Amino acid sequence: MDGKDVGSAVSDYWTFSSDNLVSGILPLITAVLAALLLVSLIRYRRLGGRGQGLSVEMGSASRSLRNADRDLRTLFDQSAIAVMLLDPTTKSVLYANETAMMAFGVRTEEQLTAEVMQKPDAWSPSPFSLLDFEETVFKTSRSGLQKFEWYFEPTGRHPVWLDSSLSIISYKSGQALMFTGVNITERKHAEKADHFRHKAMTSMANDNGLHVTLDHLAAMAESRMPGAYCGVMVHDGERARLRWVGGRSLPEPFREAMDDLPVAFGAASSGTAVFIRGRVVSRDVRTDDRWERHRDDAEWAGLRACWSEPVIGSSGELLGTFDVYHKEPWTPGDDDIDALTDPIAITSLAIERHLSKSQLEHMVLSEQMVRRISTDLLTLGPEETDQGITSTCRALGDFYRADRVFLCQFEDASQQVWVSHEWAGEGFGSLCPDIARKYPVIPSSLNKVFEGKPSVIFSAEQEIPPQLEFLKELLTLKGQQSVLLVRVHRGDRMSGILGIQMTSAVNPWTPQRAQTAELMANLFGSALNRNQLLHSLTYQAVHDQLTGLYNRHKIESFMDQEVARCTRYGSTFSVIIFDLDNFKSINDRYGHNEGDAVLSGVSVLVGQGIRESEIAGRWGGEEFLIILPETSLDSAVPVADRLRGSIESHRFSIPEPVTISVGVAAFRPGDTPHEIIQRADAALYSAKESGRNCVKQSF
C-alpha cells in the first residue's frame, strides 16, 4: 500500500471515527446545554425576584424618608422650641415652625428670609448682629454643633432671648442648617431683676445716696416689665411736694418738669396718688384731666400712659410714689401688679432707712447746734449778748428752714412786751420795724394759753387768743403758715416768748423739733438772765450805789483814757469838780436819809445837765466830778455855772436851798490826770473861800 492509500485510509478512519464521535457526543452536549439553560433560567428568575424585592424596598425607603420629613416637620410645628432649617449656601429659610416665626416677628418663611435673615438692619447690635450669626454658621459648617445664646428685638415687639444651637442635618436628599432656640426671655428678665435687686441692696448696705438705690429699683422694675419706663418720687411732707429721686430712663427735661410736684388731686398721676393714698392709672394722658398741666411735658417725652402706685411705710406714712410710664395707651394687668410688688417693698424699705438716717443726722446736728449755741450764748460779754441772740435767731431760722424767728420779752414793772430780737427770711419783712414799741400784756394770763405746756402751735385756721393780742397784730398767718410759741423763763418766772414761723402744708412741728425749740428757749432765758446779772455786777462795779453815777475808780479810768487821747491827738478836755455847800449841817439837822436824798437829787440834775458824751461821777462824799471831752476851759465854765444855777433853783425835800461850789480846769500838754484834778480842786477851794455857790477856774 502506497502512501496515498495509507493517507486515504487514515483519512477515512478519522472521518469514520469523527462521525462516530460526533454522533456519540452530541446528545451529551445537548444535555449539558439544556442543563445550563435550566440553571440560567432558574438564576434569572431568582435575580428577577430579588430585583423586584429591591425595587419594593427602595420605594418603601423613599416613602419612609418622605414620611420622616413630614413627621419631623409636624413635630417641629407642634414644638415650643423655635426651629428653622436654612440653606447652608444662601441662608434662605427652607422651613420655620410657628414658634420661630413668632420669635422673629414674621408670618411666613419668605418674610423670615427677606426681612430677617438677609436684612442686617433687622438684627441687634454686636454681638448679636447678622455678621455674628454668619460667623456662627461658618463655625458650624467647619466644626459641627454650636451652642450659644441669642438676643433679638423684633420690630414693634418686646426683645426675645433664645438659648440656641446650630447644627447640620439631612433634609430633602440634601443638607440643611438646623437652628433651634428655647425662649429664655423670662429667665433673662428674672436674672436682670435679681441683678438690680442685688445692686439696690448693696447700695443700701454701703450707705450710698438714696437716688442710687432708687435708680437700681427703677431698673429692676423695668427689667420685669419690658417696654416700661419707671421713676420713683419721694414725698417731702413738710412742703407737701414730690421730688423725683430715682429712675433715669426718661429724658431729663421731663424729670425736671415733674420734680417738685404738689401733693394734690389733679397734680398728674403721682400727686393724685399720694393725695388719695391709692393707685392711679392714666391709660392715656392725652385725655386724662389730671395731666392737664403736664400734658405737654408728657407729649414731648413721647409718653402716653402712667401708672402711679403710692409707696407707704411700715407705720402707714406716705413715702412717695412708684411710677410706670408707657409710650402707648396702656393699663396694668395682674402680672404687672405682681411684678411691681417687690420693687415697691424694697423702695419703701430704702426710703424709710434714708429717713431714719436723716432723722439721726438731724438729731446729731440739733445736738451740735444746741451745744455750740449754748457755749456761745453763755460765754458772751454783756455788750455782746444782743448780737449773740440775733445771730442765734438766724441760726435757728436756717436750721428749721423757717420764715422768721423772734424773741419777745416782758417788762414786769410796766406790764408790757416788746420784740427784742428778730430774724426774717428772704421775702419776709420785719415783724416789728419799731423795735422800741411796746404792747400791754399780763404775763400771768399767758399760763391759760400754754395750759402748763412749754409750747403751743397756731396755724392760719386758728384764732390767736386775746392774751396774745399783740401777736395777732404783728403776725398775719396765711395759707400754710404756722407758728410755734415757746415760753422763755428766767428762773421760775416767765419772762418772754420765742416764736418760730414756718410755711408747710402739713404740721412740721414734730415732737423732736418742738423739744429742740424748747431747749433753745431755755438757753435764751439763761443768756438773758446771765446778761442781766452781768449788767448788774458790772454796774455795781463801776457805779455809785446811792447816786447811780460812776464811782471814783471808773472816773479815774476815764481820766487816764482822756489824757492818753489828748496827748496822742493834740486835743483837749476839761474837768468840773464841785461839792455841796454846808452838807454836814444838812446831815446834822435833817438826818442822813435826807442827806442821801439830796445827794440823789443832785445826781439826777447832773445827769440832766450834761451831754451824752460827757461823763459824771461821784468823786467822794458830797463831792462830784464831770469830764467834758473836746471842751476848752472857756466852754466848760458856762456848763459849770448852768449846773450850779439848776441846783440852786431846785426844791429838794429839805426846807432850805442847796448850793454848790465849783472848780474848773482844762488839760495842758504834758499833764497827768492827777495834775489836772489838783488844779480843779484848787479852783474849788477858791470858790469856797469866795463865799461858796460860785464857779472858779484854774489858769
Q: Which helix (H) or strand (E) holds 7?
A: helix 3-77
Helices 592-609 and 583-590 cross at an angle (nearest 10°) of 140
pLDDT at 13: 47
Could you tell me the three cell numbers for 465?
387768743
Pairing of strands 695-697, 660-666: parallel
In a domain, 191, yes or no: no
Question: What digits encode the pLDDT tens for the residues 127-179?
Answer: 888 888 888 888 888 888 989 888 877 766 677 888 889 998 888 778 888 98
In a domain, 554, yes or no: yes
On whether both 24 and 134 belong to a single domain, the answer is no
In a domain, 8, yes or no: yes
In a domain, 650, yes or no: yes
pLDDT at 16: 47
On whether both 551 and 681 belong to a single domain, the answer is yes
CA–CA gap between residue 295 and residue 286 (Å, rounded): 6
CATH of the domain at 615: 3.30.70.270
In a domain, 371, yes or no: no
Question: What digits encode the pLDDT tens for the residues 395-430?
Answer: 888 888 899 999 988 887 778 888 888 898 888 878
CA–CA gap between residue 365 and residue 533 (Å, rounded): 31
On whether both 61 and 83 belong to a single domain, the answer is no
On whether both 401 and 499 belong to a single domain, the answer is yes
In a domain, 365, yes or no: no
Domain edge (last residue) among 498, 530, 562: 530
pLDDT at 7: 47
Burial 622-646 (b: 16+ CB within 10 A, else e): bbbbbbbbebebeebbebbeebbee
> Full-prediction pTM beyond 0.85?
no
On whether both 473 and 414 belong to a single domain, the answer is yes
Within 13 Å of residue 487, how many CA atoms lie on the same side as its CB?
Answer: 20
Question: What digits encode the pLDDT tens for the residues 513-527?
Answer: 888 888 888 888 888
On whether both 401 and 330 belong to a single domain, the answer is no
Could you tell me the three cell numbers for 428?
419776709
Strand partners for 455: 486
In a domain, 367, yes or no: no
Separation in Å, CA 367 to CA 391, 393, 402, 520:
18, 16, 18, 11
Question: What digits encode the pLDDT tens for the residues 441-473?
Answer: 776 777 788 888 889 988 888 888 888 888 877
Give yes or no for a contact between 573 and 631, defined as CB atoms under 8 angstroms apart. Answer: yes
On whether both 116 and 220 belong to a single domain, the answer is no
Could you tell me the three cell numbers for 288?
386724662
On whether both 559 and 508 belong to a single domain, the answer is no
On whether both 558 and 665 belong to a single domain, the answer is yes
Q: Which residue has the higher pLDDT, 43 or 653?
A: 653
Total of domains in the chain? 5
CA torsion sign, 223 to 225 to 230 to 234?
negative
Could you tell me the three cell numbers for 69?
420629613
pLDDT at 21 over 50: no
- Average pLDDT of the residues of the chain: 84
In a domain, 228, yes or no: yes
On whether both 549 and 660 belong to a single domain, the answer is yes
- Which of 207-221, 232-246, 499-513 bottoms out in mean pLDDT, i.e. has the lowest? 499-513
On whether both 483 and 399 belong to a single domain, the answer is yes
CATH of the domain at 286: 3.30.450.40
- Which of 78-82, 385-389, 508-512 bottoms out in mean pLDDT, i.e. has the lowest? 78-82
pLDDT tier for residue 315 given thresholds of 50, 70 and 90: confident
On whether both 130 and 275 belong to a single domain, the answer is no
pLDDT at 3: 47
pLDDT at 35 over 80: no
Name the residue range of residue 135's domain.
79-183
